[in-house]
Structure 1
Amino acid sequence: MRRATLALIFVACILASSLLTYMVVSGYWYRLRYRVPDKPSLAITDVLFPLNDTHYFNLTVMNPSFSLSPVNLTSIMVITPDLEVKEVEFTTPSLPVRLEEGETKTLKCYWRWENYTGETLTVVAFIDYGSSAAFRATVPFVKLEMNALFNASSPFWFMLNITNVAESVANVSVTRVDVVLANGTRVRDLPTEPDVSREEPYELKPNSTLTLNCTWDWLEYRNKTLTIVAISKEGYTGFLNYTTPPDVVLRITEVTFFTKGDREFFNITVLNEPISPAPAKLNNVTILVDGELF
């Protein structure tokens, strides 16, 4: 009799535990003013942005155990802070993805997020014939700040400082520097000193600066706006809009002719105008006489 009583108590405890679990799960939905789903549903449990590659993020989704049936995940969208809706076009595994009741899967979503570091994105997952799921995730903060120096006296190079700011949460491996002209032309992979490349990047830790001497003949692009782009192996990018120095302005203020013995000479006085951005070095004087150069 005693053993039977203990057995009944044990069975009652199991039933009470199952009932309590159901009430907790159901109560959670009721507390949120939702009723227990009467159609298939999906939940996003995590969104992870890998610090070493900005070309994708990992999305973990779950078909809850109380869902009524298996579900097919058919599409994934990202809503940016300015409320633009972007579709994730490629995933691994490829969409659609089937999830059984209680099953969890992680997808690799190929979508570039480097322009949204430090901002909050909303990821939305859609299924057939059921409730979609949304998840707000903050992108890790990484920022490259840049400043440049163009020497008007030497229009064949410029100096570029690239700083990985102190608040960044990751190292950045600089691989190349590009220049984008106002007409959209892109000058790629400028020679630099020290040399940087994808094979031998320069690693910038937070709160550190890289100084590069960039070789580029910008003589024909004086006093024009361009964009300097620093690119990293991880995908983080730095941009700097810059206006190159104007032309050096020289003016001949006086010409005097004179004769010394049997030889004729002339003197010229040349002024480097105050508006000139740099000193000038004269290396040639040409005379035009009746259309002929001397």
Structure 2
Amino acid sequence: MRFIQSAIGISKLILILLLLTSAIVGAVLSYMWTEGYYQSIGFQIPETASVTITNITFDPQNPTFFNVTVLNPSFSPSNVNITKIMVSTEDGVFHNVWGVRPSLPGELRISMSKTFKCVWNWADYTGQDIIVHVFVSDGTGSNLEKAAPLVKLAITDMVFNSTISENSFNVTVRNFALSAADVDVSRITVSANGTIREINVTNPELPYVLNKNSTVTFVCSWNWTAYQGMITEVTVYTLQHFKTSKTITIPKE
């Protein structure tokens, strides 16, 4: 009876050892297969950490920020410390990102992905290609290019006509069909003779929702007789931080 129990005990021990050996051999073979696969496609497992930007998103209703998602891949040899995020634009200029959430510097662990909210106003670069640069202190950073949403506004006409009124002028604004968002026109200014003036809009009232593929004409109160013959710039602003400007020489009448 004792012999049978001993034999059963030895059999269980052998079975456990076989299972452990099988698991170890399987793991080794899996690693060798993976290594061989990466080498077969010409991929070299990096010796230092190398992050990847997997996504960039812009909100057409709020151009004061963008989101960037960064991945530290599973084959990365170590965690990585992200130190800074910058932006470069089509004019070749690098721009600092003034605020990042979560704050930097910050650690990104192996196989982990993190999305950062970056405070930078891209309204002046609408429709242009923007490159986001992620810098790390202990590895290789990453760059990714993406076009900012196009919000195309334009002043299509301005009328200064003394036969209508010397105390007002008309400005026509269009939000083109290609725009990624509707906008809310919030204010209008005039720059003349070195002075910028806030203009009172009498019709329609502000803020005014200007939908995509639509046009509106604003009646603006301002006595412009003293500025006849002068180059004047009119600027239309929106709550979404987009703006459009146009210059005109006010006619002498």
Do both proteins adopt the same fold according to a TM-score greater than 0.5, normalized to the shorter chain? yes
1:169 and 2:180 matched = yes
**Residue of structure 1 equivalent to 2:94:** 85
Across the aligned residues of Structure 1 and Structure 2, the Cα RMSD in angstroms comes to: 2.4
User: How many equivalent residue pairs?
Assistant: 232
**Residue of structure 2 equivalent to 1:122:** 131
TM-score (norm 1): 0.72
Q: Which aligned segments of 4 or more residues in structure 1 are displaced greater than 4 angstroms?
A: 10-28
Greater relative CO, 1 or 2 (CA 8 Å, sep 6+): 2
The aligned amino acid for 1:127 is V
Which of 157, 162, 171 is residue 168 of structure 2 equivalent to? 157
Q: Distance in 1 between matches of 2:203 and 2:37?
A: 64
**Residue of structure 1 equivalent to 2:225:** 219
Q: What aligned pairs does 1:133-212 form with structure 2 within 5 A after superposition? A: 133-146=142-155, 147-153=157-163, 154-183=165-194, 185-196=195-206, 201-212=207-218
CA shift at 1:191, angstroms?
A: 2.9
TM-score (norm 2): 0.83
Q: Is contact 2:199-2:222 (8 Å) kept?
A: no
Q: Distance in 2 between matches of 1:52 and 1:125?
A: 25
**Residue of structure 2 equivalent to 1:53:** 62
CA shift at 1:102, angstroms?
A: 1.1
Q: Distance in 2 between matches of 1:13 and 1:68?
A: 22
| Counterpart secondary structure, 2:74 | coil
Q: Is contact 1:124-1:133 (8 Å) kept?
A: yes
CA shift at 1:190, angstroms?
A: 2.7
> What residue ranges of structure 2 are gaps of 5+ in the alignment?
1-14
Q: Distance in 2 between matches of 1:170 and 1:21?
A: 46
Percent same amino acid among aligned pairs?
33
**Residue of structure 1 equivalent to 2:238:** 232
Distance of aligned partners of 1:213 and 1:24 in 2 relative to their CA distance in 1, 3 Å threshold: farther
Q: Is contact 1:170-1:206 (8 Å) kept?
A: yes
Q: Is contact 2:56-2:146 (8 Å) kept?
A: yes
> What residue ranges of structure 1 are gaps of 5+ in the alignment?
249-294
Q: Distance in 1 between matches of 2:39 and 2:106?
A: 27
| Counterpart secondary structure, 1:54 | strand
CA shift at 1:97, angstroms?
A: 2.1
1:102 and 2:111 matched = yes
CA shift at 1:192, angstroms?
A: 3.1
The aligned amino acid for 1:194 is P
Q: Distance in 2 between matches of 1:211 and 1:188?
A: 17
CA shift at 1:143, angstroms?
A: 0.7
Q: Distance in 1 between matches of 2:231 and 2:34?
A: 65
| Counterpart secondary structure, 2:140 | coil
36-45 vs 12-21, which moves further: 12-21
CA shift at 1:39, angstroms?
A: 0.9
The aligned amino acid for 1:74 is T
Distance of aligned partners of 1:25 and 1:228 in 2 relative to their CA distance in 1, 3 Å threshold: farther
1:243 and 2:243 matched = no
Q: Which structure has more helix as a fraction of its residues?
A: 2
Q: Is contact 2:60-2:151 (8 Å) kept?
A: no
The aligned amino acid for 2:88 is I
Distance of aligned partners of 1:244 and 1:76 in 2 relative to their CA distance in 1, 3 Å threshold: same
Larger Rg: 1
**Residue of structure 1 equivalent to 2:11:** none
1:62 and 2:71 matched = yes
